[in-house]
Amino acid sequence: MSGRREELASRLEDVHARMGRAAESAGRDVGDLELVVVTKYFPASDVDLLVDLGVAHIGENKDQEAGAKVAELSRRDDVTVHFIGQLQSNKAGHVTAYADVVQSVDRPKIVTALDRGAQRHGRRLDVLLQVALDDEGGRGGTSPEDVPALADLVAGAEALRLRGVMAVAPLGGDPRRAFARLREVADGIRAGHPEATWISAGMSGDLEDAVAEGATHLRVGTAILGSRPSLG
């Protein structure tokens, strides 16, 4: 078990070093970047080790797995839980039982379900709109044209707080170009919603491109936890 701790510590250090270099070449302050460690498919014991190593944000993308895992954490209050997976409207309310942030909001029905769920749990939820950066929308998200209306809807929801946008770079495309587009979308909604300052972009393979295009939140899994085990 102590071997796992060293392994996570050393990979975490590598990722922080990459973030530092990326920030420097972009002329940005590394302190303005939040690292969200994506722990999907890995056990609560790994999350506990990460929290001990100073990780303050984790990301999960499967509702059932995430709910059970968060309940097991020994230091739940020391970590912010981000839900980053696709949501079904009939189950979206459930994530409000344990998530602090939902990054993958991409349609009106989800907004309504989250608002109801958050009210039921007496919580206020931070929300990012997931933007589709490819034409097919194969990796989830709403099209950039639909973002302004969805932003207004979230901003008007009682228990939700609009914080910004999230995207996954299209497979096989140029991530830098995609993240530049995301930055434009983010600028567009900030005109009407000044509190929407977060840009969640960049994963293990493309975090440098995301930092170069203004990302504030990086979602990194494999580079820290290793290859994901299959759930069989």
Ligand X SMILES: *Cc1c(COP(=O)(O)O)cnc(C)c1O
How many angstroms separate the CA atoms of 185 and 166, rounded? 10
Measured from the CB atom, is 74 or 143 closer to ligand X?
A: 143
Q: How far is the CB of 84 from ligand X (least distance, A)?
A: 4
> If binding is defined by CB under 6 A, does position 138 make contact with ligand X?
no
DSSP 67-115: HHHHHH-TTGGGSEEEE-S---TTTHHHHTTT-SEEEEE-SHHHHHHHH
Q: Which amino acid is at 112?
A: T
Look-up of token digits 């975090």: 207
Of 203, 211, 212, 215, the residue at the interface with ligand X (CB under 6 A) is 203
Say whether residue 87 binds ligand X (CB under 6 A): no
Q: Stretches 14-22, 50-58, 107-115, 214-222: which one binds ligand X (CB under 6 A)? A: 214-222
**What does the per-residue mask of binding to ligand X show for 43-72, with x meaning CB under 6 A?**
------------------x-----------
- Separation between Cα atoms, residue 101 and residue 125, nearest integer Å: 6
Long-range contacts of 24-31 (CB under 8 A, 24+ apart): 25/208, 25/212, 26/211, 26/212, 28/211
| Closer residue to ligand X (CB): 154 or 220 | 220
Residue span binding ligand X (CB under 6 A) among the ranges 10-18, 66-74, 155-163, 198-206: 198-206
CB of 78 to ligand X, least distance (A): 21
Least distance from C-beta 2 to ligand X, angstroms?
24
Contact call for residue 204 and ligand X (CB under 6 A):
yes
Q: Are 46 and 69 in contact (CB under 8 A)?
A: no
139 phi/psi in degrees, rounded to 5: -105, 20
**Contacts to ligand X by CB under 6 A:** 38, 40, 61, 84, 168, 203-205, 219-223
